[in-house]
Structure 1
């Protein structure tokens, strides 16, 4: 009996042991594993920080910066829900006990209006925000002495909003094969987009403080896009230098506009905040705060920030600007950023994603998406290089485009390409092979660049090929210039024109040697024979083909023929400091009644002359401390300055007798140009210039202030001044333009939907004309005809003040200008309404 009891007891223990040993395997077999990615249905971009949860449980996950998630649980529901602020929630079925992949494509909520709840006591988000501002100086990366890092940048530009009407256009129908491909790539819930450009680059970025300098060296670049050949300009534009956004600054500059940061010192003036959650993010306990602009039309963001409890640093941000903002053509701007602490406590961005959605300009056109992604790693902190190391803001390795094999890029990318991005490369290759696409991309390049590329030569500029005026009649002028395919050291150009009215040949020839690209150094030789206008500075407008072409139309007032020879040497001695020396010889043969006395001291015996010739040498110093440049083939393009003014000092000496020159003279000119940001009051541009001419000269060699007697507003003229009304040999000018953006009008209920913007202008000249120069003016020409009248200033300045509204129908600008002084002169107007057209965001 005891033996049976013992046997049963043994078997029971054995069964229990077997059950206990098998229980973990049983439980493991019942675990549900779900992996996937959450993306925007419109753009295809990942959505970081989205929440996924089984309804009725606390089981879920949050997507990482690349939109990926993973959930492992033994207690799943049968439905998984994804949600995120500003998006419609989505549900999908789950198979319990299985490993499965579930991707979500979610759409924006068109009725995204956040409820405002007013509670008694202080909003708990306010205390957090006060601590954020208090700790900005400690957490901002700008506090570091220096830092450097490796960065990977990826840019994709796509055509979106492919409506049925757009697809039915004949040109679009010829790319049916590609359109079928993008339908498949978009996925079941995605919105099809047509890729036209994708680029990748790997760079090394360096920053130092005191002085504030930044340098990016682009090591490798891969560019694939419609109409892209050399790709050097795009390589620089898509580098990380143009994809950096620091929300610790009060203002964040995007697409040339300043947006107020949610972390700005004056955050309460612009934003409402709400504390919605607290959670761990990468081991950091964070507060999640949602924010919305107090005025939807302001240039401000909507989104979420994650603030660390320890140190109140920005850990993550998801910020968007919607179509309510006072912007043209832009439907949405979205910036997502993830930051990590450096060794000494400052926080550095490790990943950035930016999306700019450009809307359709017409009902028959499509929109455009620009998507930017950067990844930063291998940070080195507080080890600055010498100042000379940062001489150029952007450089490219000599072999930057030499390695485009996929195997090579797989080894240097920070993250692999997705399957969709790999297909983008294939689709662009397919598009480039379609003849009609090549034709249209060539036409677009001609419109933008003004030239048509034919091998090693560019034909153009097309805008100056045809003109018509009262002196030349119909004028035809073809031209060309060599491009970088011909040489990266030499640029040759020529234009040949003929006027059928005056039956005279005009020409321009030039040769430029690029002696150094690191310290930009050029030597340019040119000669021309042409028709000009007194008061139009052909040198200052040399790169403004539109201005030079437009001044060849219509009625020529004070026109003259000239033969000119120039030699121009320019070198950047150090960052921002450029020295220039130039020689110029030119003749003046007027087409109007002009005369001056050769001997003004003895008018009785003096002869009256019309023509003259002059030879002069110019020495110029220009300083623009933080000016940014791009090197585009054989050109260098200025992107302007950020904080500092552009100061230019010029001295010109004329030599009598040199090449039969008629005059000795000295001129000294100083100018200053500055952009000033006024925060909520918009921005202003200030241009101040003064010149003193020490020697009596015929008035075409003096300062002829350019008037405007047309109904079109011009920023380079005095809009209520008559032609030739004022001439000076000493003067100071001030031009002030203030753009208020949406200030005031954004707060007027009936006007804010129109997105009109106020502006203000002021033009002031204070100058004079010496008695010696007045005595040079002969009242009659050698033929006895009276000369055109010449005016000069009295004891008060010329002043015109204006105000206006821009962005009317997105293109029209109306200026109301008041002339304040010299109102007693004949044929002047003290008030004018002028129009202009402009294209801006």
Structure 2
């Protein structure tokens, strides 16, 4: 999706003239920038704050003749505005030599005592539980949201590039951001209207989407899901605000006094309510913080309006600016309710002032509040994830009635422009390239088919050597009620073809009853997870082990056939039953054996396992949000927990199945946001196998012989180093998001992030199962970590060059095992905020 945003550089807008525009830099007498200085139009409540580099931009629909710049410890500067547009001003602040009586000068890391702003902040804390929607047992309101993406920092050099040849018409008119002063060109607009119901007693909330409209992309759910994940809901009264998977300390947080400097700047009537104006800015650089100001009522201590701007030094990638405005309406003398929420993000590869990027702008308007209308609990338990574009595409009359904020001229023009651009061959080529990079598939519309995935075409392993794979899937639309998918692969060392074919069919949309099945004949690395999936086309790391640690020769030939029936009777609760039949044998018999004792074999030993299993599965994902109604839906958040319970029954005799056994497995995964100290991800898994089974059916403690960090595996274990029939494992990984490195001066500017992890597993292996697989023990150890818990720990450094993470992994015990790896280095590449 990031490729999608940055490749849609093709667009249009109409000029909207503001009455007064100003920009410039504020410096001190030594020419050093003055960060967080106050800039306001005289005799108004309109103002801003300089950024880390002392730079500001501001505009207003009103006409002003004077600009006031102030900062505690400096004399106020009044600057006459000679015209409606005054750019690139340079304003020098002079240190104050006197203090007015009764004014407390606060600068630097100010004291938390005797500060009137901090006293007001404490009253905000005391009142926040009874402000806004929290005052009512139940609530409901209408919600209108528009999300726009714009290409910014347009100049003549960009317009003359060859990439835009034939598309010059999109640059006929440009607009200027009222926040940053940069020229921009709208490229995408999405509108949504919904009704929201909530119950503070039940602690439930439900949103019903009644209308959705996209500019030129036919309700593309990939875009909608990206937008929904990018701009999740937040409450400024919370201690931490989450944006782009990062937790920022709120200026209204109880920990705010340790994070921000506060100063009482002004007081005035706003909508007939006396309010105080408080300015805040961070105490330290490189932390996830804001700068800005807010107006708060003097009696209810409810916020009237607030703006938040992420500081440029904040440890966040690919985002140069984040600016937020919230306005609250006074419903009666004591109730302040959110009226309008505006958020602007400037996505860019660099944080330099003149670097180009893409604006992401979200505007949310709230209206028609209703209170204390009780709904039954079942109302909130119904499907919370309905999103059927066919049902919610509305005509113009719907939007004229429910659009709570009119589109301006440039927003209105996007719909027409995108429809035109879709007919331009050059633009269609750009769009197709972006689509391939984002999805991994090449679309062939006339066949209703996708070819791919392009990222799986080449692989290498010791059994197949060089391997090539070509796949395809049916694709009539993003809400297909059925889908077929398959691939063919060829190994140039074993000279064998492999294949996979699978199908999914949505039989009932309400209960999400899905029938699926397929067959795969391929080479696989078993034991890469304890709780394995029966997905026929699940990708095996055997096809991509180009770079490995040690001899990666314990590979398995697998012929798997599977069929299952799954339903979702309650939102986020999936229940499934199915059956699998598989044959397993070693892909490299000279190096790795799956042989076991078989009294019916002429030699007393069998080298192939034939096994039929019945499976029952229960997966509960509370808090998970999805989009779409087809057989495959998209997730739009990643902060939900996952509980999995799986029962497997092996049945001897069915299609000459070899073993009769039972297996019970449970896993629980949970992400935890630890305030401003980063994110912890935890997983616990337990399982037990009842009955005698050979090595191929035991639980392999997942090792990792690749050079890539892989959560859920044990990095310093070889494949099949430990196997078990009873096990319990724990994985903990915490990313501090630069919280610690930001306190170290020489590391601060590198924006590195520190990651620590601890993982452990205990297991047992019965004497009967050891004896059964005795022939395989010649080159595969049959041992479990039963004497003591096997554990590893690692420390890592992330965000190196903003794309690389390196982990230093240490093995805690079992160091006397043959070929034990006490230390290893792994890494990953990826784009993350």
- TM-score, normalisation: structure 2: 0.84
Distance 1:60-1:627 versus aligned 2 partners, 3 A rule: closer
Closer/same/farther in 2, CA of residues 589 and 552 from structure 1, 3 Å limit: farther
- Aligned partner of 2:14 in structure 1 is none
Q: 1:270 to 1:326 in 2, by over 3 A?
A: same
Q: Does residue 361 of structure 2 align to residue 336 of structure 1?
A: no
1:685 aligns with 2:681: yes
Query: Structure 2 regions of 5+ residues with no counterpart?
Result: 1-16, 25-37, 49-57, 96-104
Q: Does the residue aligned with 1:805 lie in a helix, a strand or coil?
A: strand
For the Cα contact (< 8 Å) 2:721–2:780, is it kept in 1?
A: no
Equivalent residue number for residue 803 of structure 1: 795
| Equivalence for 2:117 | 125
- Are 1:700 and 2:696 matched, yes or no? yes
Counterpart position of 1:172: 164
Tell me: CA distance 1:458–1:595, structure 2 relative to 1, closer, same or farther (3 Å).
Answer: closer
Matches within 5 A, 1:153-552: 153-162=145-154, 166-167=158-159, 169-182=161-174, 190-225=181-216, 228-235=217-224, 238=227, 242-341=231-330, 347-360=336-349, 366-390=356-380, 391-396=382-387, 399=390, 402-403=393-394, 405=396, 409-455=399-445, 456-485=448-477, 488-536=480-528, 539=533, 550-551=544-545
Q: Is the 1:463–1:546 Cα contact (8 Å) retained in structure 2?
A: no
Following superposition, the deviation at residue 272 of structure 1 comes to: 1.1
User: 1:477 aligns to what SS in structure 2?
Assistant: strand
Q: CA deviation at 1:597?
A: 3.5
Q: Which residue of 1 aligns with 2:28?
A: none
- Tell whether the 8 Å contact from 2:23 to 2:181 is kept in structure 1 after alignment: yes
Rate the CA distance shift 1:567–1:161 in 2: closer, same or farther, 3 A.
same
Shift of the 543–174 alpha-carbon distance from structure 1 to 2, 3 Å rule, reads farther
1:68-88 CA distance string (max 9 Å, x none):
6558xxxxx9x35487999x9
- Per-residue CA shift, 1:257-286, capped at 9, x if unaligned? 111111112221111110001111122211
Q: Tell me the number of residue pairs that the alignment of Structure 1 and Structure 2 aligns.
A: 768
Instruction: Say which of 717, 726, 743 aligns to 1:721.
Output: 717
1:622 correspondence with 2:619: yes
Distance 1:797 1:709, change over 3 A: same
Cα pair 1:218 1:239 within 8 Å, conserved: no
Conserved in 1, the CA contact under 8 Å of 2:225 and 2:627? Answer: yes
| Residue deviations 1:714-747 (CA, integer Å, cap 9, x gap) | 2232111123211111111111101111222111
Going from structure 1 to structure 2, the CA distance change for 1:480 and 1:107 (only over 3 Å counts) comes to farther
Could you say if the C-alpha distance between residues 685 and 381 of structure 1 is closer, same or farther in structure 2, counting changes exceeding 3 Å? same
Residues 614-643 of structure 1, C-alpha deviation per residue, up to 9 Å, x if partnerless?
Answer: 11111122222222222275422334564x
List per-residue Cα deviations over 1:412-463 (Å, max 9, x = no partner): 3212222232334444344433322211221111111121222222222222
Shift of 1:698: 1.0
Distance apart, 1:595 and its partner CA: 4.4
Asked whether the 8 Å contact 1:803–1:817 carries over to 2, the reply is yes
1:5 aligned residue: none
Mapped to 2, the partners of 1:638 and 1:486 lie a distance apart of 13
Structure 1 residues 214 and 549, CA gap change in structure 2 (3 angstroms): farther
Shift of 1:696: 1.6
Shift of residue 138, structure 1, vs aligned partner: 0.8
TM-score, scaled relative to structure 1: 0.83
CA contact (8 A) 2:219 2:389 kept: no
Give, in whole Å, the separation in 1 of the partners of 2:68 and 2:165.
37
3-state SS, counterpart of residue 274 of structure 1: strand
Q: Distance in 2 between matches of 1:795 and 1:818?
A: 20
Deviating more after overlay: 458-467 vs 264-273: 458-467
**SS of residue in 1 equivalent to 2:164:** helix
- Work out whether residues 83 and 89 of structure 1, in 8 Å CA contact, stay in contact via their aligned partners in 2: yes
Q: Which residue of 2 aligns with 1:573?
A: 569
Report the CA distance between 1:140 and its aligned residue: 4.8
Give unmatched runs, 5+ long, in structure 1: 1-34, 43-48, 54-58, 72-76, 95-101
Moved more, 495-504 or 726-735: 495-504
CA-atom RMSD, angstroms? 3.7
Task: Work out the CA distance in 1 between the residues paired with 2:510 and 2:89.
Answer: 47
In structure 2, the CA distance between the partners of 1:408 and 1:651, relative to structure 1 (3 Å rule), is closer
Q: Equivalent residue for 2:732?
A: 736
CA distance in 2, matches of 1:304, 1:466: 54
> Is the contact made by 1:203 and 1:239 (CA closer than 8 Å) also made in structure 2?
no
Looking at structure 2, the residues matched to 159 and 542 of structure 1 have their Cα atoms a distance apart, in angstroms, of 42
Partners of 2:748 and 2:409 in 1: how far apart?
43
Give the corresponding residue for 1:613.
610
Tell me the residue number matched to 1:74: none
Q: 1:712 to 1:499 in 2, by over 3 A?
A: closer
- Decide whether aligned partners of structure 1 residues 543 and 664 sit closer, same or farther in structure 2, where only a CA change above 3 A counts: closer
Higher mean C-alpha displacement, 547-556 vs 162-171: 547-556
Deviations 1:351-370 (CA, angstroms, capped at 9, x unpaired): 00001111235999841110
CA contact (8 A) 2:527 2:701 kept: yes
Shift of 1:551: 4.8
- Aligned-partner Cα distance in 1 for 2:512–2:87: 50
Decide whether the 8 Å contact of 1:460 with 1:479 is kept in 2.
yes
Deviation for aligned residue 1:487: 7.2
Question: 2:395, 2:552 → 1: CA distance?
Answer: 54
Q: CA–CA distance in 1 between the matches of 2:86 and 2:476? A: 45
- Structure 1 residues 692 and 90, CA, compared in 2 at 3 Å: closer, same or farther? farther
1:667 aligns with 2:656: no
8 Å contact kept, 1:482–1:492: yes
Select which of 748, 751, 769 maps to 1:752.
Answer: 748
The question of whether the paired residues in 1 share the 8 Å contact of 2:231 and 2:243 is answered with no
